[in-house]
């Protein structure tokens, strides 16, 4: 079965792309912070709900570890995740779960939150 993108996912990705284009054209100094945390984005393969977060990292040119989990790995990983679900963003010893929470955090961290009103 092929994964399909919902209209909400497509709209979210478009909004994120527009916001990053506007924010980076203004020269956001927070994106240049070299002391920023090391990020790990953990999600199911194929990418689905974490796609907007992946795009935010790429557009902000912030390095992150892209960890894709297959079904056979999920059984072991599930008890270690918040709420027993993916995606999860790990940084500075914290684990942030749920795609909208992750997107909101990254939008604030990368300085695009003022452009995204959700």
For the chain, the structural domain boundaries read 36-115
Which candidate, 49, 46, 58, places its Cα nearest to that of 17?
A: 58
Q: Which residues contact 95 (CB under 8 A, 6 or more apart)?
A: 81, 82, 88, 89
Residue 16 in tokens: 């994120």
Q: Which residue has the higher pLDDT, 114 or 89?
A: 89
The reply to whether omega before 87 is within 30° of 0 (cis) is: yes
| Whole-prediction pTM | 0.66
pLDDT tens-digit series, residues 68-107: 999 889 999 999 999 999 999 999 999 999 999 999 999 8
**Residue matched to tokens 């995740």:** 81
pLDDT tens-digit series, residues 12-32: 666 666 666 665 555 454 444
Fold of the domain spanning 36-115: Glutaredoxin (3.40.30)
């Amino acid at each position: 079965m092929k994964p399909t993108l919902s209209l909400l996912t497509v709209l979210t990705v478009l909004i994120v792309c527009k916001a990053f284009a506007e924010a980076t054209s203004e020269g956001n100094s927070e994106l240049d912070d070299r002391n920023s945390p090391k990020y790990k984005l953990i999600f199911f393969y194929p990418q689905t709900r974490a796609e907007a977060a992946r795009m935010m990292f790429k557009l902000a040119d912030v390095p992150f570890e892209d960890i894709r989990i297959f079904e056979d790995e999920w059984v072991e990983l599930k008890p270690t995740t918040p709420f027993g679900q993916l995606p999860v963003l790990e940084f500075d010893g914290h684990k942030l779960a749920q795609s909208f929470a992750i997107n909101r955090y990254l939008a604030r961290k990368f300085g695009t939150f003022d452009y995204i009103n959700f």
